[in-house]
Structures are given as C-alpha cells and as structure tokens.
Structure 1
Amino acid sequence: MKPPEHLTVRGPEDVLGFIPHSLGYWPAGSLVAMTLHGNRLGATLRLDLPGPATLADPRDYARTVRDYLAADQNADGALLAIFTNDGWTEPPGTYRGLLDALECRLDAAGMPVRDAWYVGDTYWRDANCTDASCCPVPGRSVQTIRDSMLNAEMVFRGSSVGPAPENAALPAATISGDERAAILRSEAAWTAQLDRRRGSREQFTSLLALWCSVLAREAGQLLPANDLAFLRASLGVPAWRDAVLVMAAAGTPAALAGAEAFGIFDDGCSMAPVGPVPFGQRAAGETAGTGAEPVNQDAAGMEAVDGQDVPGYGEVLLGLEPEIPAWHRLNSLDGVLQQLSACGGLPGAAALTGRGWIAWCRGRGSYAAAYLGQALEEEPGYRLAELMLELVRRGTLCGWAARKEAAWPRFEPDAA
C-alpha cells in the first residue's frame, strides 16, 4: 500500500487494536505475527496455535512463520501476539518455548521480535515482562484495546470487525422466494441458449462486455433479476467462469488470450450472441429484458488486445501476474458474486468459489476456506473449490498477498 497518509501507533493497545481490523475479526486460538519496516507496520499473518506435540518442539512451526514473514522482503522486525485464554497467566506459561523459538528464528532472519503479547477475552499483557509493578497478573483489561485511539480511528474510517468466519455464516445477498423462482426460470432459459454457444468467440466477447459493464457499476447496486440470471448461467461454463476471474484481475486481453490458448473456440459456431444489453449501452430507464434474446454488442468498456504480452490464466489465478491486480474490479466482482450466490445450485457454488479465490488473493485465508467450504456444501465435488481449498489448507500464499506493493489495499492509511 502506498497511501498519502498514515495512522499513528502510540502504544501496544493501538497495535493490538489494529489486528482485528487487519484480519476482519477478533482472532482466537491464534498466533498473529506482523512485520515491521522501521517503525511502520507491514504484513499481518495469522496461524492457528500449535497443539501439545508441536509445542514440545516448536522449531518447525517457527520456521514456517519465518518463511511466511520472509515473503515481505522489506521487513526488518516483527511483532507477535498470542490470542488465547489458556496457559499464559502464570509465567513462564504454555507458550514460552514457542515464543523463544520464534524469536530465535526471526532474529536469525533479520526480523528481530521487538514486542510480544498475550491477549485473552478479558485481559492482555506483555509476554516478556515479569515485573508485577508494570505487568500485573493477569494483565490489563482488553477494553483498553477496544478503546484505543487507533481502533477508534479505524472505525471512523469505516472499518469494522465482524465474527470469525468459522463462527458465523458469511454474508450473502437476501432474496425472497418469488424472486428466487423468477431468477431460476430466467436462468434456465439463458442456460439453454448459452449451452449452444459455448464455442462461440462472439458469445465470449459479448459475455465479457456485459461483465465489464457490471463491474463498472457503482458499488452496492443490486442487479436486475434477468441480469442475475444471465450472469449465473455464464458461471456454469468453467472456461467462462475462469475468464471472468482473470478479466477482473488482469484485464480483458488476458482473458481473451487465455481462452484462445486453451482452444475453447469453435469457428463453426456462428450463432449470434445472446444476453442482456450492457449497462453502459442502455437508454435511461431501459430494463435488461425478460428472456433470452440476441444482442449486438461492441464490447464497450473492454480493453483492446493490441499484441502486448499478457499473463496466462495460471499466473493470474496464483497471483503471480500482473504485478499489481486491478483491486477495484476484484472488489466489485466480490460484491456481484455475493448477489449471484443467493440462489444456490452450481452457479451459487461457482460464485462462492470466486469469492473464496478473491479472499485468498486478499491474504484472508480463513475467509477463503469458509467460502470454499460453503461452495462444496452447495455442490459437493466442485473441482475448482477443491483445488483452491487444498492451496489454502497447505498455507500457500497468493503471490499478490506476499508482496506489500501488490497486496490488497484494504485500508487507505498505513500504520506507523
């Protein structure tokens, strides 16, 4: 992130107050590690706390933490916070050996630990202070974190802290029974039309034009039912689903070039493309129509393919290319996919998988796992969700999330 202003950290309460905003929820049973660039906060990493067997020899766990933090190549220090109610109120505590191993590994890697804390539901304290006059047992009230100046400023700037993804249903668009039935009827009509055009280059181009116009709309706007139905139907085609993800992150040239490379087009498929008219081409007050209809779209809003080098699908989906993704489009896509997931079914699973991929790109593994798990509940065996969930469970970082200059700019300010 390279914003023009920054937040001021006045003490440990501010650092600890920043963590839930960075993650989106208050962690529990977690190690949170933050890199430092001089006196600025860098990347935030959350890992489940290890069990007794690992605590008995935490060296491998410490190496894993070191390797993750080393992805922040500018890091010259680290902060650690252990969020748990267990094993720390009586020094040295259950996690003393873990902290020692972490400090040893990070110091050797050029990221010395400058501070470490224990945080429970009610109390928190410095993990390295044993002076009862300044660090009394069990510690200071957690309310001092919630009342910190930085936490207040984050709330003022619009940031919120929600429930942990594993403890609450992730938000989905709400829809009435009648609306759902109407969308599914329209979706079935669009699906029948699109199935006959899977190999059509013109249909693919028309489809991307509509998605471009949708992503260019003002955030939070609800889509008309017929548009929702068409977009859901388009996600039922895996090659088109992948193209939408790639287009949002890397632009239409990458989506088009990848589709050509995969050979999805059939020159013998010459049927006229169908779909709602893109928003940018609609007259004031014009609706999207109510059924499957031919359209004549000129791909308004799409970047032209001018022969320049473009990244492949694999590079984009792993966050390796482009150097910095189009976060504004990915943020917009996440909101659209939220609406598309409301009616469930295979398109709902595709939408949830897309949200899981975006969460992974943002470096929010817990949310990614929750979305991908929901996708597999909706459509057991959904392959892309299975593959993505395996990446998340292995702890694989998205390439963009591993680099500060490319990482999701959730906050406008830096913290210093």
Structure 2
Amino acid sequence: MRWPARGGRRTRRPSRSRSCSQPADSSSTAPGAARRLPASDQARQRRMPQAHARRMTTIIRAEAAHDFLALLPSLAGYSPERSLLAVAFRGNRTAGVIRHDLPRRASDRSAVASLLVAALCRMPGVDAVVAVAYTDDPFARRRGLPERALLQTVVARAEEAGFLVRDALCVAADGWGSLRDPATPVQGHPLALIETSSAASHPVCREARTGGVADLAVLPDAEPEVAEAVARTLAALVDDDGRAGGFDSRRSRPVERLLEALGPLVDPVEFVEVLLAEAPEHIDADRLAWLVHLAGRPAFRDAMMLQFAFGPVIGELALDDSIDANERAAASGVSIDELVARELAEGAPDGVDGFLSRLLLGQTTARPEPRRIERSIAVLRRAIAQAPPAYRPGSLCIAAWLAWSLGRGSAAAGFLDQALAIDGTHSMARLLCTFLGSGAIPEWAFSSTAVPATGADGGSDQVGRSRPSPGDQ
C-alpha cells in the first residue's frame, strides 16, 4: 500500500546483469514498432549498499538554568520562537523535545498543555520534564514573568500525570526567568547569561541549527547559470518523455548527453547515495536536474523519499514495490490512486508492501537517521531553488515528508504551502497536507531505543538525547 500517486505504468526493473535498454510492451504500439522507454525508465547497474558507522550521542552537562537554555537550541535542532517546549527526561538524561506554538488565546492554554502532556505520556520511561516558553513579550510590559499562566497550566497538567517538573522557564524579548524561582527579578535575568554560557561554547552547540523552526523551508537563492542549465535539461527531459510515449525512437541530443554524463547514476538508488556523499554546493546542474525530474515522477518520488530517510536497502524495496503497484493497477484496470484508495479501505497488507506503508505513515519504531535526513533536505533545497517553479512540487513533497520525519511540522507545512501555491491540485501535496494537518507524529519519535530500518544509518545527531524531536505540531 502506497501514497496515492499519479503515474504511468513502467516495466519491471531487470536484474543487475541485464542490459540498459529494454523495449516496452509492444501491445501499446503499432505492429512491428518498439516504443523507446523514457530516460528515467532505463535499466540500471547498481552498487551494493554500504554500511554506515553508528555515531555516539554527545553529552553536555548543564550546571544552571541559563546553561540549560543555552543548550536547548541544540537539543531541539532549531532556535525556538513563539513556542512552548516540553523537554522530556529519563532520569538525568534528556529524551526528546516536544514543541507547540504559543496559544494565541487564553482559552487555548489548557488544550495546548494537555496536548504536550499527552505526548510525554507516549514516551517510554520518561519521568520528568522542563517546560520552556519562548515569547516576544517583554518582562517590562508584564512587570514580571511573561506566559506565567501558561506555564502554571503546563506544570499542573504534568504533575497530575505523575511527571516530576524540574523547572518551568520563560525566555522573553528582554530577559529570562523561572516560574519556580522567587528570586527572579521583575525585569528578568539578562539574556547575556544565556549567550555567554560556557555550555553554548561547546563545538556541538556552535554547529547546531540557528534558524527558526520554519526556516528550513526557506529556499536558498538561485544561481543564475546553474538555474538556466537545470531549466534547459528539465525541458529536454519532459520533451523526451513525450516523444517516447509515441513511436519516435530517436532521443534528443541533450538527453543523450545527460545520460552519458550520469552513467550508472541514472539508477535512482545509486544516484541518491552518491548525492548524499557530496556537499550540496558541489552537485552539478545535470544531477540537480535529474533529481528534480525523478522527484516529479510518483513511483520514483515515493521510493526516493524513503531512501533519503532509511537508506539504500529500503530504497530498493520501495522502488520495486512502486513498480508492483503500477502493475496491479494496470491489471485491475484502475488508476494508481484508485488502487491505493481500495487497499487503504481494506487495511494495511502484510509483507513488504505493508512494511513500506508503515514507514511512510510513521507507524513503526524503525527510525530514520537524523544526520542523513538533514543532508537530504540540504540537497533538495538547493535542487528546488535552481528548478523552474513548475517542476518543484515533487521535490517539495519529499522535503516536506523528511521535515515531518524529524518532527519539524512547521517546516513541512512551509514546503507544502510552496507546492500547493504552484499546483493546487497536486495529489501528493494535498495528501500530505491532510495527513500532517491531522496532527500525526511518527511513532519513532516516542521510541525509547533506536530501531533503524535495514540499510539506514545509525546513531543520533542530537545533543544529550536519543531521538529526533517528537514534533512541533
């Protein structure tokens, strides 16, 4: 069972020993005419998946509240703004960070507090929490701690649920303070205590993301020469696909040149692994265009989405499963969307198909590796920025799902907003909007131990914790 996706039928991928060209089923062509496959449907040679080293989690000790606040952007993976955070603990170790937008109305405080505590209850072994509110509201305006009522509500809900509340802090525009510290000045403690904390000077903290939670969805500037080359290549690929659907066996020279330049990297599985091994800024226009082109084709898009998160073995399984889904749809005389809708109604199947569906829906503790996803999003952001808007929605959908898999719902929404602004009928973007809008959080965010899927990188890229943030829904 897969995400609903539009796309035509393609032939099954041949074994590794097969040649690189294979005619399509001649029943759809004129007698005696062999129809040429589009460039992205060529059979490929592939490398064997490579093992990845498991990286140890870095531990940094916070001696005081301002040290803890200095570490928090590293724990969360972004610089919180107008946010309510619940930092979960197992004993003395942080176990995750849950985020919610600050409630805009006083009447919403109770609901927001209940949502955060409910998420804490899903995290095995968590026994304590620190609540932190980030606000633009200054101490000077409130003549005391901003968001006091909200923090009091969170503390009450957490204690009712049996959690030890270690502290409840507020970082405001002009200072910071603790709800539980009667010595907090009316004007708050100076923010300089956080900025100059010895904890903030740790190398891991200096390397941490400094942007806001939604900044991940902001694209870099296009590079004129690269963008022009990407646009030419994408236009040639679209024209080539159109001619390949008829009886013209000739391939345009630009596409021939591209395929020669890519060589074995026309294979999506090998291509993704090579992309992630390079610095995004060093990826040339040909590879950026090929990435955007593949992401625009549903069968490749969905398989690449899983491979970016879980590794090449999962990518292999997902790509073969996409081909099977297309063949089942063709045999049943229905579209791939109709097939998936029917299978959804019948329930998730067993076997590989069901396993891949659970990965896409986050219904498993087989967790993706954060560093790998960060690299993937960086590559996608550069590719999207160089492509003409009309070609972007598929890549934006991949980036959105990857952001969601890290618990960055606001960034995921930002990518999807861009996709729907380009094509309001894009089926995958609409599906993801509905799914993410339901408040879904991947189960791996609540797992107490790492259970990587086959072929995924191991380890964690977070400071003092064992998983990516459960979410910022």
Taking structure 2 as the reference length, what is the TM-score of the superposition?
A: 0.67
The counterpart of 2:373, out of the listed 326, 330, 337, is 330
Cα distance in 1, alignment partners of residues 206 and 136 from structure 2? 30
The counterpart of 2:161, out of the listed 106, 109, 122, is 109
The counterpart of 1:414, out of the listed 464, 468, 473, is 464
Q: How does 1:307-346 map to 2 (within 5 A)?
A: 309=352, 312-321=355-364, 323-327=366-370, 329-342=372-385, 343-346=387-390
Identity between Structure 1 and Structure 2 (%): 25
Local SS of the residue matching 1:401:
helix
Residue 125 (1) aligns with residue 140 (2): no
AA at the equivalent of 2:122: A
Local SS of the residue matching 1:16:
helix
**Aligned residue in 1 for 2:80:** 27
**Aligned residue in 1 for 2:43:** none
Cα distance in 2, alignment partners of residues 145 and 392 from structure 1? 34
Hey, which of these two has a bigger chunk of helix by percent? 2
Cα RMSD for the two superposed structures: 3.4
**Aligned residue in 2 for 1:286:** none
Cα distance in 1, alignment partners of residues 293 and 443 from structure 2? 30
**Aligned residue in 2 for 1:72:** 123
**Is the 8 Å Cα contact of residues 239 and 264 (structure 1) preserved in structure 2?**
no
Q: 1:169 to 1:237 in 2, by over 3 A?
A: closer
Q: How does 1:4-403 map to 2 (within 5 A)?
A: 5-54=58-107, 58-86=109-137, 95-131=147-183, 135-154=184-203, 158-163=207-212, 165=214, 170-172=218-220, 174-176=222-224, 178-194=225-241, 196=244, 207-220=267-280, 222-250=282-310, 251-264=314-327, 309=352, 312-321=355-364, 323-327=366-370, 329-342=372-385, 343-403=387-447
Local SS of the residue matching 1:174:
coil
Cα distance in 1, alignment partners of residues 377 and 217 from structure 2? 16
AA at the equivalent of 1:139: G
Cα distance in 2, alignment partners of residues 160 and 221 from structure 1? 18
Q: What displacement does 1:366 show?
A: 2.0
- How many residue pairs align between the two structures? 364
Q: What displacement does 1:120 show?
A: 0.6
- Residue segments in structure 2 that go unaligned for 5+ positions in a row: 1-53, 246-264, 332-350, 452-457, 467-473
CA deviation vs aligned residue, 1:156-206 (integer Å, no higher than 9, x gap): 65224124536x971436321x43232222212223344647xxxxxxx96
CA deviation vs aligned residue, 1:248-297 (integer Å, no higher than 9, x gap): 334234313421441348999xxxxxxxxxxxxxxxxxxxxxxxxxxxxx
**Is the 8 Å Cα contact of residues 75 and 462 (structure 2) preserved in structure 1?**
no
Taking structure 1 as the reference length, what is the TM-score of the superposition?
A: 0.76
Cα distance in 2, alignment partners of residues 346 and 382 from structure 1? 11
Q: What displacement does 1:17 show?
A: 1.3
Cα distance in 2, alignment partners of residues 319 and 194 from structure 1? 34
Q: What displacement does 1:211 show?
A: 2.5
Local SS of the residue matching 1:7:
coil
The one of the two structures with greater contact order (alpha-carbon pairs below 8 A, sep at least 6) is 2
Deviates most, 98-107 or 212-221: 212-221
**Is the 8 Å Cα contact of residues 25 and 163 (structure 1) preserved in structure 2?**
yes
Q: What displacement does 1:151 show?
A: 1.4
AA at the equivalent of 1:120: A
**Is the 8 Å Cα contact of residues 31 and 83 (structure 1) preserved in structure 2?**
yes
- Residue segments in structure 1 that go unaligned for 5+ positions in a row: 198-204, 269-307
Local SS of the residue matching 1:140:
coil
Local SS of the residue matching 1:244:
helix
AA at the equivalent of 1:32: L
Deviates most, 360-369 or 382-391: 382-391
